[in-house]
Structure 1
Amino acid sequence: MSAHECVEKDGGINRGGLKVKVKAASEYYWCSIRLTFPGYLLWSLVSDECGNNYFRERCMRSVCSVVVVLLLFVTGGLIYKFLVQGSVEEASDGRAAIQLTHSEKDLVLTEMRSFLQSVQAITVGLSSDDMDAVALNARTVGMAAQQGVPVSLMGKLPLEFKRLGVDTHKKFDLLALNAEQLGDSMATLKELSVLMQNCVACHEVYRLDAVLQE
């Protein structure tokens, strides 16, 4: 008996659930099919009497829908891990310990030391009212200095850490611009004070642990 004949004996398809009366070897039995993903998936795989294209198509649509949902879920998890959470564990001192390789930790610390060196050079420039030196040293750690950070490292850094880093680079660029255009050492000193709050906030919340294999 074909699948369409099987369906026609019951007068069509009932979307809430289908009961098809099938005659075989002088006796009747009921073929009950629930039109849900588990029901017609199993039925389409094992049924010889009623395994027709209609239900197989319905099954494939549901399989595709489930696969799409799973892919979206996995993709969303990866995006959250890469952009927001990063590779972080709770440290013994209460801070968030960013889990890095030794070379990655060295790279981040090198950038932090360059911040400190620029701050020291800026204060020297301010003390002698040399605004050209202030602008020069501030610009060396502006946004241009961030271009060489590997993508693999960026994925391990939590979102707030990255936000603080980008904001600090931008503030150095703004400080350099204002030092050149305004030449006001007191205003620049105030800018530097605000900028340093980012450094304090970062070190209060985060630490770097070199625990991962290269």
Structure 2
Amino acid sequence: MTDTWTLVVAGLVVALLRATTPILFAALGALVSDLAGCVNVALEGLMLVAAFFGVMGAVQAADLWPALPVWAHALIGGGAALLAALVLALLLAVFHLEFGADLIVAGIAMNLLAAGLTVFLMASWVGDKGSTATLVSPALPALRVPGLGVGSVDRLIAARRLRRVRAEDLRHMKLPLRRVLPFVIVDGHRPGAAPPAPTRASGAADAGTGTGVVGGVVAGAPTQLGLFG
């Protein structure tokens, strides 16, 4: 009974920490605003736009700059989230300070604007009105493959409909081969398969590791990628 109770309490604590962390940061921001003499009721709207543009910023960063590491995509998404929240906060300040709108009413208006704007942009962007956490869309499975964004996946799918895709085709798409090949099947390469025997024309093999260089592409047993690798 003691072990069961310990597991229940531990799970509850973990769930509380996971659920209250974003709310805690918003509460700290509200505390700073209150100490400055400003009651900011637009915190919900700020969190909504920051979450939406943070996720979409990271997705677009992976599509536009697939050669960047994963942590750089997350960093760009975080910057987009901060910028979106700052723009909404600036809009609230303009309505209150320049036009004399009541701060409470203007804050509620910002919350309503953020709630409608994020749903509208979500539907316009990916064709889904759901939340980004449970989004089911054919455009976002690219997030499962490091180095592939939404546009890159669309180009890869379109190329597969026309012919057998080779590693050279991935290079023409400007995809990072070392990060993509361990997860993508192309002509002459299958993740986890034994490397092909090198030839004089195509390259040489390292006798110590058995890794071959075929057509300028390292062919060997794929390794699991790390977050910062």
> TM-score per shorter chain, which class?
under 0.3
Task: Give the structure with the larger strand fraction.
Answer: 1
Larger Rg: 1
